[in-house]
């Protein structure tokens, strides 16, 4: 299928991500305002506490890091007031020059998937981010409305492929018809949609930095590989070599490590958070050199 033409007002997500990483460094910081963290910052576990937390994160990180990754569920739990805070985050990050990857992990079929695409990827939506995480486990083809909308508007999708939760391998490492691992099929589907795109395709994968060597070939994906798990989840910058191999040196944005608690735990001081993020960038750059 020929992808729809990209919005003339916005470059493709893959190109924008490559430029952001080149300018600011290879790091995505997760914005995960879970109740324990709000309490650690002496904030109430309310929509007001959420708003104050988010404002500090924007001040500390949006002018500095390449990508912010708010976890949608932590905003949704406060209802419409929480969603309003998320909308303000999207606007504030955009104004400060950071890309936003909304961690929503949506996945459905038909008109429902089209509605998710309209919510998170369509021009004019108050929840439209630069990219969104999606789940392919109703079949990769079920994601086509999201892929089409993303490519038409210069946005991106990150498809779950190899996650770090212990239940993941039950599905992701299973063998499909023809003997290919399910995760390999997902990687191949992404690669097909990114074929020939330069400098980087806009259909990315989520591959946990803690999964080790899985036998899945990621070298031909030609799209960004989001690598959650650095820091509190146990992965180090050195673990990236085992998981991603040659993809680490494929160019800016090809592997995008992400961390949350290692940076947010330095708060609520904006300066301390910014310093923690910059230390992570230095450690990752050393591995990717």
CATH number at residue 91: 3.20.20.70
Query: Which residues are within 8 A (CB) of 223 and not within 5 positions of it... i.e. 6 or more apart?
Result: 14, 190, 191, 193, 194, 200, 201, 202, 203, 204, 205
pLDDT surpasses 80 at 234: no
**Does residue 6 form part of some domain?**
no
Domains held by the chain: number: 1
Does residue 264 lie in a domain region? yes
**Domain for residue 188, yes or no?**
yes
The verdict on residue 270 lying in a domain is yes
In a domain, 8, yes or no: no
**Residue 287 banded pLDDT, cuts 50, 70, 90:** confident
Instruction: Return the bridge partners of 103, or none.
Output: 71
Q: Point out the residues that are catalytic.
A: 105
Over 60: is that where the pLDDT of 8 sits?
Answer: no
The pLDDT value given to residue 5: 43
Q: What percent of the chain shows pLDDT beyond 90?
A: 82
- pLDDT above 70 covers a percentage of the chain that reads 96
Mean pLDDT value across the chain:
93
pLDDT of residue 2: 38
CA distance 1 to 17: 24
- Does residue 162 carry a pLDDT above 50? yes
What is the band of 3 on the pLDDT scale with cuts at 50, 70, 90? very low
State the Cα–Cα distance between residues 226 and 253, nearest whole angstrom. 9
Domain of 276 in residue numbering reads as 13-288
7 in any annotated domain? no
């Amino acid at each position: 299928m020929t992808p729809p033409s990209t919005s003339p007002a916005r470059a493709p997500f893959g190109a924008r991500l490559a430029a952001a990483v080149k300018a600011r460094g290879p790091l995505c910081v997760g914005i995960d305002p879970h109740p324990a963290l709000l309490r650690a910052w002496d904030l109430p576990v309310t929509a007001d506490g959420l708003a104050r937390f988010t404002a500090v994160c924007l001040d500390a990180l949006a002018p500095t890091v390449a990508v912010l990754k708010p976890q949608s569920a932590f905003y949704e739990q406060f209802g419409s007031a929480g969603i309003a805070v998320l909308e303000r985050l999207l606007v504030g990050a955009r104004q400060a020059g950071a890309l936003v990857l909304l961690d929503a992990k949506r996945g459905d079929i038909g008109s429902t998937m089209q509605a998710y695409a309209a919510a998170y990827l369509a021009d004019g939506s108050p929840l439209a981010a630069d990219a969104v995480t999606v789940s392919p486990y109703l079949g990769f083809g079920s994601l086509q409305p999201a892929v089409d909308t993303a490519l038409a508007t210069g946005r991106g999708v990150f498809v779950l492929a190899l996650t770090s939760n212990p239940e993941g391998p039950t599905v992701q490492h299973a063998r499909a018809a023809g003997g290919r691992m399910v995760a390999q099929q997902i990687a191949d589907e992404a690669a097909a949609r990114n074929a020939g795109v330069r400098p980087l395709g806009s259909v990315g994968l989520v591959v946990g930095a803690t999964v080790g060597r899985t036998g899945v070939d990621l070298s031909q994906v030609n799209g960004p590989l989001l690598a959650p798990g650095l820091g509190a989840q146990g992965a180090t910058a050195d673990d990236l070599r085992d998981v991603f191999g040659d993809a680490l040196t494929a160019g800016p944005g090809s592997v995008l490590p992400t961390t949350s608690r290692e940076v947010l735990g330095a708060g609520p001081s904006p300066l301390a958070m910014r310093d923690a993020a910059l230390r992570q960038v230095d450690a990752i750059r050393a591995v990717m050199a």
